[in-house]
Amino acid sequence: MAGFTMSLNLLLLVAMVATNILSLYHLSSNTNFFQSTVKSSQSSVPTVPDHLLRQLHTIRAAINHLTSHQPDKSSSIASSVTSHAAVSSSSSSTAPKDLLLYSKLSPIASACHNYPDLLHEYMNYTPFSLCPSDTDLVEKLILRGCHPLPRRRCFSRTPRNPTDSKPETNVIWSYYSCKSFDCLTAKFPDLGFDLSLEKSKSQFSTYKSELDLPISQLLQIAKSANSVLRLGIDIGGGTGSFAAAMKARNVTVLTTTMNFNAPYSEAVALRGLVPLHVPLQQRLPVFDGVVDLVRCGRAVNRWIPVTVMEFFFFDLDRILRGGGYLWLDRFFSKKVDLENVYAPMIGKLGYKKVKWAVANKMDSKHGEVFLTALLQKPLAR
């Protein structure tokens, strides 16, 4: 069908160009006729303007090119992708064949073309064999907006002897500096790599400051408002501690996470939960108005560009149902920015403020603060 459409478009183009040529030739022949019959007097008929002659030559050249050489579609796509996927400007490298194939079957994200070196490296593999060990490369491309990544025809690497009794056996540790969860727990004690459910529950079960919102209190707020919590998303949820605590209360929570030098996705999966390997700047792969709760952890803070942040909040509004809750858990920013930028931005959503607590950062040097806010989406717009 696509080939038929392209052929039809080409035929229409040739017909249009041919019509223009005939019109110009007709004008030129009429002018020559009048000039030949009134040689003895000044002719009142103007000569063909130079710009029309130049246009005529251009059309002639186009017709000659189309009739003498009709490029193959695959070669035109190949030349286009190759130009983007060149390893350097000084040397022309042929794009990997599977990149060309994927470009024909399903166009890749436009941001991928901004990083031709990384894209070329990612797609330069041997089909039907093991995929390269390129976890770090995958993270770099996704964070730069190349998402979803082009599909590949290779087999993902898996741990050799995974067992339920030893979580470490379910991770390919060669990608990371630490080689066990104990190492990660010792190195990053607050990131939830201790997969004990009791520890995960305690993190969201205590009230130590006004910035805390225990899960028991959250459930009570929802119950008082006759709002049922069944499905949630934890944005930047790390190792899935919040989702694990909510699972114990029969609430399903999906976790978006990235593998920043540690097996965050694997840790989420080992808890029997679903990790979504997606960046913050991309549209969430969830249908409109089906989520009861969205929690934004510390990954959502002032480091995100303001415009990206605004689009992000409106995407969260898209997936939240009417009456659903948006929980900003320790949103970090400067106090002046919170007052002048982020609070007005959040206010655009028109949500009800169930909780709004601001506290100074303990070791603040530039007026940084934390915000914990629980906001409820209107039932109807």
Region 366-379: mean pLDDT is: 94
User: Domain for residue 60, yes or no?
Assistant: no
Region 143-155: mean pLDDT is: 89
User: Domain for residue 75, yes or no?
Assistant: no
User: Domain for residue 15, yes or no?
Assistant: no
pLDDT at residue 67 in the model:
40
CB pairs under 8 A, 24+ apart, for 185-190?
A: 188/262
If one compares 28 and 197, the residue with the highest pLDDT of the two is 197
pLDDT at residue 199 in the model:
62
Take residue 337 and report the two structure tokens written for it.
Answer: 């920015």
User: Domain for residue 123, yes or no?
Assistant: no
User: Domain for residue 21, yes or no?
Assistant: no
pLDDT at residue 25 in the model:
54
> How many Å separate Cα 285 from the centre of its chain?
10
pLDDT at residue 196 in the model:
72
Say yes or no to pLDDT of 283 above 70.
yes
Biggest CA-to-CA distance, the chain:
108
Region 293-316: mean pLDDT is: 93
Position 367 confidence tier, pLDDT thresholds 50, 70, 90: confident
What one-character DSSP code corresponds to residue 94? P
pLDDT at residue 194 in the model:
87
The predicted-structure confidence for 235-259, as pLDDT tens digits, reads as follows 999 999 999 999 999 999 999 999 9
| Number of DSSP helices (H) and strands (E) in the chain, helices first | 14, 7
Per the structure, the complete domain to which residue 328 belongs is given by 188-377
pLDDT at residue 69 in the model:
40
Count up the domains in the chain and report the number: 1
User: Domain for residue 336, yes or no?
Assistant: yes
Amino acid at residue number 149 = L
The predicted-structure confidence for 80-94, as pLDDT tens digits, reads as follows 444 444 433 333 457
User: Domain for residue 179, yes or no?
Assistant: no
Amino acid at residue number 272 = G
Say yes or no to pLDDT of 42 above 50.
no
Take residue 23 and report the two structure tokens written for it.
Answer: 């019109």
Region 28-47: mean pLDDT is: 47
CATH number for the domain spanning 277: value is: 3.40.50.150
Inter-helix orientation angle 73-84/97-105, to 10°? 110
User: Domain for residue 327, yes or no?
Assistant: yes
Torsion sign, CA atoms 93, 99, 105, 107: negative
> CB of 329 within 8 A of CB of 235?
no
pTM: 0.69
pLDDT at residue 88 in the model:
39
> CB of 379 within 8 A of CB of 350?
no
Closest CA relative to residue 330, chosen from 363, 299, 354: 299
What one-character DSSP code corresponds to residue 290? -
pLDDT at residue 52 in the model:
60
- Those residues whose C-beta lies under 8 Å from the C-beta of residue 368, and which sit 6 or more positions away, are 332, 333, 334, 335, 360, 361
